[in-house]
Structure formats: structure tokens, C-alpha cells
Structure 1
Amino acid sequence: MEIQLGELVFDVVASGPESGEPVVLLHGFPQTAHSWHRVTTLLNAAGLRTYAPNQRGYSPRARPAEVSDYGVPNLVGDVLGLADALGLDSFHLVGHDWGAAVAWATAITHPGRVRALTAVSVPHPAAFTWALKEDPDQARRSEYMKAFRAVGKAEDVLLDNDAAYLRAVFGTALPLEDVEVHVNAMTQPGALTAALNWYRAERRLGDTAEPVRVPTTYLWSTADVALGEAGARRCAEFVDAPYELRVLDGVSHWIPDEAPEEVAHAVLSRIAGTVTP
């Protein structure tokens, strides 16, 4: 479906029974809503209604030009605006990578709208900021973000030689056909710059970020090259609600693609503990 918010038009993949509990799923970089297709198939089979948008910059008609347009408050506003357009007073929220960062921020700032949170790969922003400052391992893992903020240069590197580096980002975790879906989306005019603008506009909630006050499950994988253990282990300190950490041994950063059953089980288990009669 297409949903218009002001001048922006978002593409949203909606599936599952319309009477099911609503679940909004937010993808990360450099992926699209397609990254959720294995997870949503399982959630739909369990009776849930899922909505997976191509987020700001990823939907071709939701691609504003200014870097400042991609700040976290605008990304959170998109989530709430989409929910409003869908008639969802509240919803279960799932996010991976950058989508997890937006999901954390949404749950922190609008706890009344989020019934439950399942965050995949990226921990609470305060835990991540602490790890980035205090843990040399996380600082090393995050060096790529500085390169992504280099306007023009980052695009050239990622798209050179038929987007060879962009394809290499996924390693062997995704089937080739799924990699091509994301690469094809990112090689459309203006798409990669818009996606990189998330990094360029980044404003972390940081050390002062409030705890999440909604039931939360966080999934972290031991073979994630971007997110280390220090932030993952500290995440619990910033959740003032029922919380569970699930560690996936040997799984890469691309958890929804590589371990969809584990993601779906985590979401279903979290929802089972929060659904009201």
C-alpha cells in the first residue's frame, strides 16, 4: 500500500489477517522492507497483522533533499504518522539495525503508542553511546560510520565496480536474490545518498536518554561485525519494564534474514506477555 504523510509518500508492505494484533517492522541500512519477508510470513501464520514500510529515503517518493530531514525526530514522526494513517492507536514495534534505533527512540518518547518492543542488533541508544565511548572494541567496529558520513565519497566507494562493496556488505548471510533486491533499490537515483543521510543527520539520544518503559526483547548475535558485546550486555540497565536479552550464537548482523524463526519467536513471545484480553 501507499501512505501519504504531507509531501512524502511511503510504500508499506501490509500482510496477515486484518483482525490480527498490529506489528510495525522497521528495516535498517542498506535494506528495504523486503528484509522482513521471512519474518512476516511466520508472524502472519501466527495470526498477526504486519506493516513493513520502506522508510524515509527508501521509498522513492519519500526522499527529501536536506540532510537535516533525516534526523531521528523526523524518523520517529514517520512511524507515528504511518500508525495514525493506519488507524493504530497502539502497536507492537520491531526494528533491525537503524530500524532498531528508530524503534528505541519511538518507544522512549511515545511509550503510550508502543505495546511492546523487539529490537534486533542495535541496543538502547544510551548503551550504544556508552560502548562507543568506553569500549575500544565497539569504537573499532563503528569506524565505518565516519566513512559513511563523507558526502559523495561514500557513495562512490559503495557504488563503484557495479556496487561491489555494497554487495559485499551482506557477506554470505543472504541469498543472492535478496541481495539484489536491496542493491537494486540502493542504486536508484538518489537512493543511496538518502540512506546515508541517516548517518549524516545522526543525533544520538546519548547518555541522557531515558529508559524504555514498555516490555522489551533485545536480540544480539555473536557474529555481528558492527555491534559488540559490551553494549548488548549493558542494554538491560536502560529498560524499566519486563526485559529479555536473546543471544544468537554464530549469527551475523543480518538476523532477520539469517534467523527469521528466532526473530518471529522472540516477537511472538514478547507479544504473548503483553496482549490484553
Structure 2
Amino acid sequence: MTFPEPTMVPVNGVELEVFEAGTGKPVILCHGWPEHAHSWRHQIPALVEAGHHVIAPNQRGYGNSSRPPEVTAYDIKHLTGDLVALLDHYGYDDATFIGHDWGAYVVWSLAVLHPARVNKVINLSLPYLDRTAMPSIDFMESVLGSDYYFVHFNRRPGVADALFDANTARFLGNLYRELASTTPLVDLATAESVPGEPVLNDEELAVLVAAFESSGFTGGINWYRNFDRNLDLLAAVDPIVRQPALMIYGDRDTIPPSPTLKDFVPGVDVLSLDAGHWIQQERPEETTQAILKWLAD
């Protein structure tokens, strides 16, 4: 099947660009940074074939979805609120949520903020983060330095945004590699070359480049600028994820497995694939089959 045509859906005071296909039990796919709903292109046909109504939004700040100017409009309550409102729009009490990278953070948070709306969780790359041990931006700066991208995005607002906007194709082409680069993330926008085979072919990269040339990077980077705010917003929430969950790691990802995952997600199954960070795009068949098998069990 071809990638679905988008629909603009009003939710939670914004509009989301949503790609949907199929009928049956709902599955909502949540992309990460700097991604797009198109990152799920390999999984959507198989999920539809397996009898699911697949809903893949470009989350706020991405694609043609709304890009509010206020940084606080991208905090975790707004991001999870968008997904709850998306369920309401389609008339679903709950759904299975699948997230990658920042999308995984949103899905983990949704599972504890709105547990009745989430029946199963599948997350890729980013495990559940123990909030009692999660470092703040200040801590990251003291350990990793001011050039670490989380710190850079927060301490130097607008600088990385402008650099990525001016070098979109080079930045994304350098970032989407099977081998993680040792080049600082912000410097990927101007690096002549980086190691590793490209994850995306020319046509796939062109889709991503066109999307970010239209939207810019500020909306997505604003997710990072709410990192400390999110800790405060989640501080009083029961941190245990009680839904059945599947965590898929990439063996070559720079994000390590979590030693406390089962403490906070007692119903989790864990799987590792021979992949870097872009799991569902690097290993599409293995990822898709793992998802389908787990959902069928």
C-alpha cells in the first residue's frame, strides 16, 4: 500500500496532521525527533493487514501540524493531551500506543498520566526513565558539558534551530546513519561526512527534508526545552506503568538498556535487535514481526 494521505484533525487546541489506514483495533504510532509519521511507513501496511486501525500523527511542532510559539506549549501535559484528544476524536476509549525516541517518552508518560486510555505499550529505543534518578539539564551540563545537545538546546535557544534550518538536508543525511557518529549532534549540520551507511534512501530522505524545510526544527526542539518542566509535572504521578509493555532496544544504539525497567514497568517484555537508534527504519522487517507477534500473543 502507498503511504496514507493526511487529514488535519483538531485536538486539544491545535491541529494534527494525521495519517490513518485500516479498520479494527486502534494502534497509534508516535514518532520521535527529528522524525515524521513517515518513519512508520514499513509497519503501517502490516498492522493494517493484521486487522488494526492505524493512526500515525505528526505530533505538534512537526510536519503540517500546529506549531504554537510558546515553549511551554510543548510540555508533557500538552503532548499527552493531544493523544487523548485524538482518541476522543476517533471515538476510542483506549488504544495500543507505539513510540520511538521522544515518542516513546510521550507514550510512557501517557501510560501513567492517563492509564485508562492505554491498553498496551510498545516502545523503541528509549526505555522508561526512572524520574527519581533522571538528571536535570543542570546535571547534564556539569557531567557532559555545555555542547551536549540537551544542554545546548536549553541554554542557547534559537542557535541550533537556525543552524539545522539552514542545513536541513546535510544535517538529516548525517544524522540518519546506522553507525552513531562521534561528531557532536549540532555539528552534524555542517560536517562534510560522517561514518556509517545511510538509513534512508534518496526518496525517503527527500520526504523528511521537505517536511523540515517547511516546518523548521524549533517545534521539535521545544520538546527538549521542557525537560525540567516535565519532571515537575510528573513528580506527583504514580510512576508505575501497569499496562503490558514491549521494549525494543537497538544493540548498537547509544541509549543503553535501563537497569530499573522492570521495577517501573513490571509487565514488560524486552527484545534487542541488531540496530542503531532508528530501529523501525533500519530493521523494518524484524521490527514489524516483533510487534505483530507480541500483539498477537
TM-score, normalised on structure 2? 0.80
Mean Cα displacement is larger for which, 45-54 or 174-183?
174-183
Query: Cα distance 1:206–1:258, how it changes in 2: closer, same or farther (>3 A)?
Result: farther
1:214 is matched with which residue: 195, 219, 243? Answer: 243
Do residues 200 (structure 1) and 204 (structure 2) align?
no
SS at match of 1:125: coil
Query: Cα distance 1:61–1:220, how it changes in 2: closer, same or farther (>3 A)?
Result: closer
Report the Cα distance in structure 2 between the residues aligned to 1:7 and 1:102, rounded to whole angstroms. 18
1:22 is matched with which residue: 4, 26, 39? Answer: 26
Are the counterparts in 2 of residues 118 and 270 from structure 1 also a CA contact under 8 Å?
Answer: no
2:54 is matched with which residue: 44, 50, 53? Answer: 50
1:238 is matched with which residue: 264, 280, 291? Answer: 264
Which residue of the partner structure matches residue 272 of structure 1?
296
TM-score, normalised on structure 1? 0.85
Report the Cα distance in structure 2 between the residues aligned to 1:162 and 1:78, rounded to whole angstroms. 27
- Consecutive unaligned residues of structure 2, counting only runs of 5 or more, are 1-6, 178-197
Residues 75-101 of structure 1 show CA distances to partners (whole Å, capped at 9, x for unaligned) of 000000001001111111100011000
Do residues 154 (structure 1) and 160 (structure 2) align?
yes
User: Identity percentage over the alignment?
Assistant: 33
Do residues 228 (structure 1) and 260 (structure 2) align?
no
1:34 is matched with which residue: 14, 25, 38? Answer: 38
Which residue of the partner structure matches residue 122 of structure 1?
126
Are the counterparts in 1 of residues 63 and 212 from structure 2 also a CA contact under 8 Å?
Answer: no
Q: Which amino acid in 1 is paired with 2:241?
A: V
Are the counterparts in 1 of residues 168 and 213 from structure 2 also a CA contact under 8 Å?
Answer: no
Do residues 173 (structure 1) and 173 (structure 2) align?
no
Which residue of the partner structure matches residue 101 of structure 2?
97
Report the Cα distance in structure 1 between the residues aligned to 2:250 and 2:236, rounded to whole angstroms. 24
Query: Cα distance 1:88–1:245, how it changes in 2: closer, same or farther (>3 A)?
Result: same
Q: Displacement of 1:260 after TM fit?
A: 2.1
Which residue of the partner structure matches residue 91 of structure 2?
87
Query: Cα distance 1:143–1:12, how it changes in 2: closer, same or farther (>3 A)?
Result: same
Which residue of the partner structure matches residue 280 of structure 2?
256
Report the Cα distance in structure 2 between the residues aligned to 1:270 and 1:215, rounded to whole angstroms. 10
Query: Cα distance 1:4–1:94, how it changes in 2: closer, same or farther (>3 A)?
Result: same
Q: Count residues in correspondence.
A: 261
Q: Displacement of 1:55 after TM fit?
A: 0.4
- Consecutive unaligned residues of structure 1, counting only runs of 5 or more, are none
Q: Displacement of 1:252 after TM fit?
A: 1.2
Do residues 13 (structure 1) and 38 (structure 2) align?
no
1:112 is matched with which residue: 87, 107, 116? Answer: 116
Are the counterparts in 2 of residues 126 and 206 from structure 1 also a CA contact under 8 Å?
Answer: no
